[in-house]
């Protein structure tokens, strides 16, 4: 049963609010579902937006809210990039690893069949880039096959510490499609001290050797450094060093340590503060790669069908951002 009084109240309260502002309308009556239907229908017809109904109070925005997804850079739109955790075991035990990877971590591999299926569905789901990470992916004996099914589908980035390019692993590297693959190698400093302090003695020299080797093999290299927020300054010597390794400036990525996994401190990253990048592990789908070992950001345990998973992540993100915007309008500080 439609409530005419509710509609009259809506018109008066929403109409007197500034465009973009949110008003709260109490749903008083025996049938809150019916009242919610009324508000939904009125909003649809009048060009306003029902933000949420909670505790029998409806929040309605005057006009349509801003387009959350349109405000993002194209490569930030959730589902554009798809992260796959190939495995969690690693030859290093970095003290800030957000995924809690180490030599003693169980492998928890995604597996070739799942990766193949994900890569196949990714194209139709609007994904434009696949990113493989771990753990250390080169510990997997079938990493070349995993990469092949990905590069056959989409441009792909493979994250590695660059320390294992020898023997059969080097042969696997050489079989990868240079035209479709970028190697992202971790390096935290232009000299060994800082890098080795986090990642273990001798790791800097082997990573630099790996970068040089991969460049020689004709791969595009992106270098990603993970630093304490306080250390992200005076970076020119680092950039100059990476220039000398023939790493393009656009491929020199500096990012702060996240307070996740093994890290004792760092940036606090929550569902509310992260733009989601859909991430799939052996355990399920996560909000962002930085939280792939944390149940608070588990979206669902089933990654299929991938397009529906991505749609759900987008829906949650839009809802969350819209709610945050409304909350900001409810509580102006002055």
Residues that bind other proteins (CB under 8 A): 1-2, 4-5, 7-8, 11-12, 15-19, 21, 38, 41-42, 45-47, 62-63
Whole-number minimum distance, CB 297 to other proteins, in Å? 36
Return d(Cα 146, Cα 294) in angstroms, integer.
24
Pick 23 or 122: Cβ nearer other proteins: 23
Distance of closest approach, residue 48 Cβ to other proteins, in angstroms: 11
d(Cα 28, Cα 49) in Å, to the nearest integer?
20
Closest CB to other proteins among residues 45, 233: 45
Is residue 94 a contact partner of residue 262, using CB atoms and an 8 Å limit?
A: yes
Reduced to 3 states (helix: H, G, I; strand: E, B; else coil), residue 298 is: strand
Q: How far is the CB of 5 from other proteins (least distance, A)?
A: 6
**DSSP assigned state of 188:** -
Instruction: For the CB of residue 63, give the shortest distance to other proteins in the complex, in Å.
Output: 8
Query: Which residue in 308, 321, 268 sits closest to 290, CA to CA?
Result: 268
Core vs surface per residue 321-332: b (16+ CB within 10 A) or e: bbbebbeebeee
Helices (H), 125-249: 143-153, 167-174, 192-199, 203-216, 236-244
d(CA 297, CA 74): 23
Q: Smallest distance from the beta carbon of 17 to other proteins, in angstroms?
A: 7
Q: Are 224 and 235 in contact (CB under 8 A)?
A: no
Residue with smaller CB distance to other proteins, 15 or 103: 15
Nearer to other proteins, 16 or 28 (CB): 16
Nearer to other proteins, 11 or 253 (CB): 11
Q: In terms of CB distance, is 41 or 229 closer to other proteins?
A: 41
For residue 315, the minimal CB distance to other proteins (Å) is: 25
């Amino acid at each position: 049963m439609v409530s005419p009084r509710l509609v009259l109240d809506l018109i008066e309260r929403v109409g007197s609010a500034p465009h973009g502002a949110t008003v709260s309308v109490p749903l008083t009556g025996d049938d809150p579902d019916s009242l919610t239907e009324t508000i939904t229908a009125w909003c649809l017809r009048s060009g306003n937006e029902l933000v949420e109904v909670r505790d029998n109070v409806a929040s309605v925005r005057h006009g349509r809210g801003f387009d959350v997804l349109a405000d993002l850079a194209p490569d930030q739109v959730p589902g554009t990039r798809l992260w796959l955790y190939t495995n969690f075991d690693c030859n290093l035990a970095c003290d800030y690893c957000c995924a809690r990877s180490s030599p003693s971590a169980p492998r928890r591999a995604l597996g070739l069949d799942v990766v193949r299926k994900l890569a196949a569905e990714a194209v139709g789901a609007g994904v434009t880039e696949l990113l493989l990470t771990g753990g250390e992916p080169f510990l997997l004996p079938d990493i070349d096959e995993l990469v092949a099914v990905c590069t056959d589908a989409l441009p792909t980035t493979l994250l590695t510490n660059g320390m294992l390019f020898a023997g059969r692993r080097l042969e696997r590297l050489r079989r990868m499609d240079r035209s479709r693959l970028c190697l992202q190698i971790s390096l935290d400093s232009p000299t060994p001290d800082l890098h080795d302090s986090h990642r273990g003695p001798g790791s800097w020299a082997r990573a630099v050797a790996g970068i040089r080797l991969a460049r020689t093999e004709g791969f595009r290299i992106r270098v990603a450094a993970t630093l304490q927020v306080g250390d992200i300054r005076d970076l020119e010597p680092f950039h100059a060093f990476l220039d000398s390794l023939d790493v393009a400036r656009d491929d020199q990525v500096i990012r702060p340590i996240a307070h996740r996994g093994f890290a004792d401190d760092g940036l606090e990253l929550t569902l509310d503060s992260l733009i989601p990048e859909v991430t799939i592990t052996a355990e399920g789908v996560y909000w962002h790669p930085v939280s792939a070992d944390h149940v608070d950001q588990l979206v669902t345990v089933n990654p299929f069908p991938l397009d529906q998973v991505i749609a759900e992540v987008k829906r949650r993100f839009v809802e969350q951002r819209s709610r945050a915007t409304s909350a900001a309008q409810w509580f102006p500080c002055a």
